[in-house]
Amino acid sequence: MTSSPRPLRGRRLSRAVALALAPILLPQTVRLRRVVPLLPEPPQPWEGGGGTDPIHVLVLGDSMAVGVGVDDAAEALAGHLTAELTERTGRPVRWRARGRNGATARDVIRDHLDEALRAPTDLVVISLGANDSMQVRSHRAFRRDIKRIVRAVFAAHPRAVVLMSALPAFHRFGLLPEPLRTTLALHSQSLEVSARRALQRFPRAHMTPPLPPYADDHFATDDFHPSAQGYREWAEFIVADAFRHGIGAALAS
C-alpha cells in the first residue's frame, strides 16, 4: 500500500533543511565524487526486441533509465521489462531507452522528450527524480516537469500507459554519509509526493510504490546504480504492480 502524501508544509521543509545544511552537504558531495567510481553508460544502441505486433516500450529518464551499472543495455531496466511483459502477456516487446546519465526532469524535456516520442509507443516507464533530489529542486518545479512529460506522452500517444517508478530510497544507500543520506532521503520523498499527486490527474498513468528493501546484490560496483540483478528485480516489481492495479490489461490485447 502506498503511504499517504505528506502535508505541503512538510514538503517545503525538506528543501529548506537541505539548503540550510549546504555548508556541510556540499563538501560531503565533493568527497563522494572523488571516491565513487564513475560508471559509463552502456554502449548504444539502447533498443532491441521486436516481432509481430509487439508492445512498444520506452524507458525514459536518467542514468537508471539508460542502464548505468551494466555493460549491455539489454541487461538494464528496459531489457528486463521486456522479459517480464512477454511472460505476462505472451506478446513480443520492442524496447527503447532514452535519456542520459545525470538528467533531471527538466533535462529530459529539453534534450530528449521530442525525439523519444516520435516512434510508436504503448508503454512509457519513467525513471526520474534522483538528480532532481540531489540538485535540491523544488517540489513545484518537479511536479510541473512531470506533468509536462506525461501530457506530451498522451498528446503523442493517447492510448499509451505511463508508469513512473518511485524515487530511489536514499536512506538505504550505505555509501552516503550523514547528514547527506537523511537529507537526500527526505527531499526525495517530498518530490515523490508531488509526482504522485501530478500523476493522479491522468487515468492512464500510475506511480509505483517504493521498492522493497534492496537485496545484497542490488547495487553495481559504484554502490549507487543497480546491477543487472537489481534491474531485474526492479522490472519485476514494476510489472507486477502494474498488473495488480489493472494497468497491464491494456498491454495484453
Summarised one tens digit per residue, pLDDT across range 102-161 is 999 999 999 999 999 999 999 999 999 999 998 889 999 999 999 999 999 999 999 999
Q: What type of residue is 45?
A: P
Q: 251 falls in which pLDDT band (50, 70, 90)?
A: confident
Nearest to 167 by CA among 202, 133, 138, 214: 133
- Predicted confidence at residue 3, as pLDDT, reads 38
- Predicted confidence at residue 243, as pLDDT, reads 93
Element (H, E) at 32: helix 22-35
- Predicted confidence at residue 23, as pLDDT, reads 64
**pLDDT tens readout for residues 63-113:** 999 999 999 999 999 999 999 999 999 999 999 999 999 999 999 999 999
**Distance between CA 76 and CA 222 in Å, rounded?**
15
Question: Residue 4: pLDDT above 60?
Answer: no
Query: Any idea which of 125-139, 175-189, 196-210 has the lowest mean pLDDT?
Result: 175-189
Domain residue limits, the chain: 8-35+54-252
Question: Residue 1: pLDDT above 70?
Answer: no
**pLDDT tens readout for residues 8-24:** 444 455 665 566 666 66
Span between the terminal Cα atoms of the chain, in Å: 27
DSSP-derived secondary structure letter, 226? B
- Predicted confidence at residue 30, as pLDDT, reads 65
Question: Residue 241: pLDDT above 90?
Answer: yes
CATH number of 8-35+54-252: 3.40.50.1110
20, 34, 188 from 14: Cα distances, Å:
10, 26, 9
Tell if the pTM clears 0.95, that is, is over it.
no
> According to DSSP H, which parts of the chain are helical?
8-20, 22-35, 63-66, 77-89, 105-111, 113-116, 130-134, 139-156, 180-199, 228-244, 249-252
Nearest to 112 by CA among 148, 80, 73: 148
47: helix, coil or strand? Answer: strand
- Predicted confidence at residue 10, as pLDDT, reads 44
**pLDDT tens readout for residues 19-38:** 666 666 676 676 666 667 78
Across 211-224, average pLDDT = 93
How many Cβ atoms sit within 10 Å of the Cβ of residue 219?
A: 20
- Predicted confidence at residue 248, as pLDDT, reads 74
